């Protein structure tokens, strides 16, 4: 499968997971399953903050041929629509920057000076995962820096780096069996190391959804959602099964859907994404076609440097 198809798969897959999970965000696993049953149609196709911010990350990497913090912050602010449902920490960081604080300093003021460990940095990281898929050190550096615009807590940044590296391994076509090993080597924080050990144990016994939610989480914290997305990707053999499973866990369904969709899209390529989902994904100024174009631009900048 072509690398370009994997680049497109990662970004479109992320947006589709987001749109598919969006109407379910905040519902419990039991509520989601009682409404949906076996019928996983995309209800509206509208994406949320997850995708709006991912678009900003991609735009900034393309325009600057790499990372530029002030510009990435400006892109987030330009693209911002409150109705897409931003997290309170991210909202405050962007307000502070808009009012004149530097992008280096604003995020550090949140949550009593500790910074956010929400999943807002990980949910938007797909462009970093594909653009730096062949360089783990650079990927880590840019994952941390792009997180820092809104998320300065170590756990928020590490979650974004782990999600980015999962996407990178998927682009590389790493065998699923080898992925957990590579992820364990990559990740620095003990909380994530422990979660990766849990993923391995849970995969070995085909655990039920309750166990996944209690052991890995389905919340808005990066450490309670990034590992869940990795698990959802590893457990199933198709884009569709992985993403349906991820959002069926309820909780932060749009975001866990987006992150599972990004890894799965990078692994299986655009061709493996169900057409009826892609067609339903919103179109318009920064819709489906634009997101696809951003993936093609990242590919072009990376390989042709023009
Ligand atoms: O991370 P963030 O942008 O939120 C992303 C979520 C996704 O589900 C999106 O789909 C959207 O719905 O929002 O926004 P933050 O507010 O930075 O983090 C999310 C939540 O994590 C916060 O509202 C807190 O509940 C929690 N959180 C923390 N709680 C205590 N201490 C994050 N950091 C902390 C912390 O340091
Ligand atoms: Mg969202
Ligand atoms: Mg969410």
Report CA(165)–ligand 2 centroid distance (Å): 21
Question: Chain-wide mean pLDDT for the chain?
Answer: 96
pLDDT digits (tens, 9 = 90+) for 146-203: 999 999 999 999 999 999 999 999 999 999 999 999 999 999 999 999 999 999 999 9
Cα–Cα distance between 223 and 22 in angstroms, integer?
A: 20
CB 21 within 8 A of CB 247: yes
Axis crossing angle, helix 288-304 with helix 3-21, rounded to the nearest 10: 150
pLDDT (tens digit, 9 = 90+) per residue, 123-140? 999 999 999 999 999 999
Q: Residue 181: CB partners within 8 Å, gap ≥ 6?
A: none
pLDDT in tens, 195-253: 999 999 999 997 999 999 999 999 999 999 999 999 999 999 999 999 999 999 999 99
Scan for tokens 């965000």, then name that residue: 25
pLDDT value of residue 121: 98
Of all protein residues, the one whose alpha carbon is nearest to atom 33 of ligand 1 is: 116
Which ligand minimizes its atom distance to the CA of 118? Answer: 1
User: Is 306's pLDDT higher than 70?
Assistant: no
- Tokens standing for 266? 């990078």
The 8-class DSSP code of residue 112 comes to G
pLDDT the model gives residue 40: 78
Residue 39: per-residue pLDDT: 66
Work out the number of other CB atoms within 10 angstroms of the CB of residue 107: 28
Q: Report pLDDT for 236.
A: 97
As given in the structure block, the two tokens for residue 49 are 């903050």
Name the nearest CA neighbour of 263 among 219, 228, 214: 228
What is the secondary structure of 43-54 as a DSSP string? S-----HHHHHH
What pLDDT shows up at residue 43? Answer: 85
> What confidence score (pLDDT) does residue 41 get?
81
Nearest CA among 84, 60, 62 for reference residue 74: 60
Q: For residue 78, what are the domain limits?
A: 3-304
Rounded Cα distance between 83 and 129, Å, is 27
Ligand nearest to the CA of 46: 2
Q: By three-state DSSP, how is residue 118 classified?
A: strand
Q: Which atom of ligand 1 is nearest to the CA of 153?
A: 36
Residue 88 CB neighbours (<10 A)? 11
pLDDT value, residue 19:
97
Q: Are 130 and 167 in contact (CB under 8 A)?
A: yes
**Minimal-distance CA residue to ligand 1 atom 24:** 118
First-to-last alpha carbon distance for the chain, in angstroms, is 24
CA distance 156 to 9: 24
Q: What is the pLDDT of residue 206?
A: 79
3 state DSSP class of 239: helix
- Rg of the chain's alpha carbons, rounded to an integer? 17
Candidate from 116, 123, 160, 221 with most ligand 1 atoms within 8 A of CB, to mutate: 116
Protein residues with CB under 6 Å of any ligand 1 atom? 48-50, 85, 87-90, 111, 114, 116-120, 123, 153, 220-221, 252, 254-255
Q: Ligand 1: distance of its center to the CA of 89 in Å?
A: 6
pLDDT tens digits, 60-109: 999 999 999 999 999 999 999 999 999 999 999 999 999 999 999 999 99
Beta carbons of 21 and 254 less than 8 angstroms apart: yes
Check residue 38 and give its pLDDT. Answer: 64
Per-residue confidence at 57, pLDDT binned at 50, 70, 90? Answer: very high
Sign of the Cα torsion 275, 278, 279, 280 reads positive
Atom of ligand 1 nearest to the CA of 48: 10
DSSP string, 18-84: HHHHGGGTT--HHHHHHHHTT----S-----HHHHHHHHHHHHHHHHTS--HHHHHHHHHHH--GGG
Evaluate if pTM is beyond 0.85: yes
Q: What digits encode the pLDDT tens for the residues 248-299? A: 999 999 999 999 999 999 999 999 999 999 999 999 999 999 999 999 999 9
Query: Count of domains in the chain?
Result: 1
In this prediction, residue 274 carries a pLDDT of 96
Domain harbouring 11, CATH code: 1.10.4080.10
């Amino acid at each position: 499968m072509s690398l370009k198809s994997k680049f497109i798969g990662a970004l479109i897959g992320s947006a589709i997971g987001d749109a598919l999970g969006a109407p379910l965000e905040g519902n419990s696993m039991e509520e989601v399953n009682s409404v949906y049953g076996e019928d996983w149609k995309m209800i509206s196709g509208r994406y949320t903050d997850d995708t709006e911010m991912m678009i900003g990350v991609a735009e900034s990497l393309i325009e600057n041929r790499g990372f530029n913090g002030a510009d990435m912050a400006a892109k987030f602010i330009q693209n911002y629509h409150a109705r897409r449902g931003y997290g309170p920490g991210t909202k405050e960081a962007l307000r502070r920057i808009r009012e004149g604080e530097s992008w280096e300093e604003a995020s550090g003021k949140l949550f009593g000076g500790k910074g956010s460990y929400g999943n807002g940095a990980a949910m938007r990281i797909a462009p970093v995962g594909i653009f730096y898929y062949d360089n783990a050190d650079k990927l880590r550096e840019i994952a941390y820096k792009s997180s820092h615009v809104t998320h300065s807590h170590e756990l928020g940044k590490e979650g974004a780096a782990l999600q980015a590296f999962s996407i990178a391994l998927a682009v590389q076509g790493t065998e699923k069996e080898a992925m957990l090993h590579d992820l364990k080597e990559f990740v620095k924080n003990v909380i994530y190391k422990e979660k990766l050990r849990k993923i391995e144990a849970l995969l070995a016994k085909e655990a039920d959804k309750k166990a996944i939610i209690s052991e890995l989480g389905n919340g808005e914290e990066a450490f309670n959602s990034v590992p869940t997305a990795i698990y959802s990707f590893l457990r199933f053999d198709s884009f569709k099964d992985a993403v349906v499973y991820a959002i069926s866990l309820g909780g932060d369904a749009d975001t866990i859907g987006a992150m599972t969709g990004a890894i799965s899209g990078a692994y299986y390529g655009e061709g493996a994404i169900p057409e009826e989902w892609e067609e339903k994904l919103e179109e318009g100024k920064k819709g489906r076609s634009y997101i696809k174009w951003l993936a093609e631009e990242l590919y072009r900048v990376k390989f042709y440097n023009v």
